[in-house]
């Protein structure tokens, strides 16, 4: 003979293996889980081992029940009802609140002057935005991936997002603004926002072929750079440094680079004269200029190379070597009346 009990109390509650104590003020159980744990394990034991227990709307079990519950996708707190039914049929409902803790300190979106920033340098955690030099101050909006993260920038603090304004002086072509994102777990990530003034500057500062600087020549409206190469060379190393450090540079078929660009260019052995286009796009996104590097294979019928200031000279149709010299340069002859032109053995 067993005596039926009206006991319908809860002895213990566990979430992901950790015992949860009822809050004496609210009379509810409360647990915390990290964001991403969408199905935490809930275990409940009743005071009376013969009482029946149901977690949420899941299966009713006797004495003890362990279930994986599903948290609400768009809610920070999910409330799980726990129903205990005594042997005499009297039911009592307790509540378990499971709160998500967001650990992310990542950035979701940055908008500068109503334009989303898409350039991000992972190594330095720097976002790069090109801004119009005619507008000042510049509006900066930052939104974190977690609506509960705290963003700090320019002494402005916001939860989930923040808006601030920053000025650029006339002589500034770039400005770096540091900011931080702190998660609910106090994990803090430091970032930079780099503002770059838009410019139409597409000039080149330096051009190198196989580590030797090449001087520009003008052919009408076209700027070219000439360089002699070995007869059987199948590739050449080209390095371009633009005047404006944030102009985009594309060497031949290589990927576009911002600022200094360097690439190895494959050379067709069937071609004696090879043109490598260099396309420079200004930060204003509209101004584009194409420069040409002309590589000329040297003939095998000579055992000597003629150089002037490091540049290999190529014979013209008359068999002469010529080189363009800037008017501000002064060439001083030696004692025999010869100028600074060198004839070296074949490399």
Q: What is the DSSP letter of 22?
A: B
Taking a C-beta distance cutoff of 8 angstroms, is the pair 60, 50 a contact?
no
pLDDT on residue 135? 83
Pairing of strands 60-62, 156-159: unpaired
* Strand, coil or helix: 329: coil
What is the SS3 assignment for 76?
Answer: coil
Rounded to whole angstroms, the Cα distance separating 198 from 4 reads 82
Contact 252, 225 (CB under 8 A): no
pLDDT 10s digit of each residue in the chain, 347 long? 567 889 999 999 999 999 999 999 999 999 999 888 889 999 999 999 999 999 999 999 999 999 999 998 878 999 999 999 999 999 999 999 999 999 999 999 999 999 999 889 999 999 999 998 788 899 999 999 999 999 999 999 999 999 999 999 888 888 999 999 999 999 999 999 999 988 899 999 999 999 999 999 988 888 899 999 999 999 999 999 999 988 999 999 999 998 899 999 999 999 999 999 999 999 888 899 999 999 999 876 554 566 666 666 766 666 666 766 655 555 555 555 555 544 444 43
The half-sphere exposure of 17 on its side-chain side, counting CA atoms within 13 A, is 0
Predicted TM-score (pTM) of this structure: 0.61
As to burial, measured by CB atoms within 10 angstroms (0-12 exposed, 13-18 middle, 19+ buried), residue 198 is middle
- Do β-strands 52-55 and 304-308 pair in parallel, antiparallel, or remain unpaired? unpaired
Phi-psi region of 190 (alpha: psi -120 to 50; beta: other; left: phi over 0): beta
Contact between residue 23 and residue 30 where contact means Cβ atoms under 8 Å apart: yes
- Are 200 and 289 in contact by the 8 Å Cβ rule? The answer is no
pLDDT in tens, 58-99: 999 999 999 999 998 878 999 999 999 999 999 999 999 999
d(CA 164, CA 95): 42
Give the pairing of strands 41-46 and 10-15: antiparallel
**Cα distance between residue 307 and residue 294, in whole Å:** 16
Quote the CA–CA distance of 223 and 207 in Å, as a whole number.
12
Closest CA to 291 of 305, 309, 276, 311: 276
Inter-residue contact 13 to 98 (CB < 8 Å): no
């Amino acid at each position: 003979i067993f005596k039926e009990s009206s006991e319908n109390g809860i002895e213990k509650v566990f979430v992901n293996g950790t015992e949860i104590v009822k809050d004496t003020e609210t009379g509810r159980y409360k647990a915390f889980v990290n964001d991403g744990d969408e199905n935490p394990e809930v275990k409940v034991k009743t005071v009376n081992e013969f009482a029946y227990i149901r977690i949420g709307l899941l299966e009713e079990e006797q004495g003890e029940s362990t279930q994986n519950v599903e948290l609400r996708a768009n809610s920070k707190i999910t409330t799980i009802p726990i129903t205990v039914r005594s042997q005499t049929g009297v039911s009592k409902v307790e509540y378990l609140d499971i709160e998500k803790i967001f650990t992310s300190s990542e950035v979701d979106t940055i908008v500068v002057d109503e334009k989303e920033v898409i350039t991000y340098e992972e190594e330095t955690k720097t976002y790069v935005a090109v801004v119009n030099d005619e507008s000042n101050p510049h509006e900066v909006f930052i939104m974190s991936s977690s609506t509960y993260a705290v963003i700090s920038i320019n002494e402005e603090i916001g939860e989930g997002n923040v808006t601030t304004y920053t000025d650029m002086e006339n002589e500034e072509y770039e400005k770096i603004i540091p900011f931080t994102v702190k998660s609910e777990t106090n994990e803090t990530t430091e970032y930079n926002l780099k503002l770059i003034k838009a410019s139409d500057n597409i000039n080149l500062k330096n051009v190198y072929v196989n580590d030797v600087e090449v001087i520009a020549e003008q052919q009408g409206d076209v700027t070219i750079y000439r360089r002699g190469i070995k007869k059987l060379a199948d590739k050449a190393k080209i390095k371009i440094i633009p005047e404006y450090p944030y102009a985009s540079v594309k060497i031949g078929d290589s990927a576009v680079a911002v600022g200094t660009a360097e690439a190895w260019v494959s050379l067709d052995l069937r071609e004696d004269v090879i043109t490598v286009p260099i396309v420079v796009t200004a930060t204003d996104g509209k101004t584009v200029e194409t420069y040409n590097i002309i590589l000329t294979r040297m003939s095998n019928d000579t055992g000597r190379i003629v150089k002037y200031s490091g540049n290999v000279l190529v014979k013209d149709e008359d068999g002469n070597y010529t080189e363009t010299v800037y008017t501000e340069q002064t060439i001083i002859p030696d004692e025999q009346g010869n100028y600074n032109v060198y004839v070296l053995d074949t490399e």
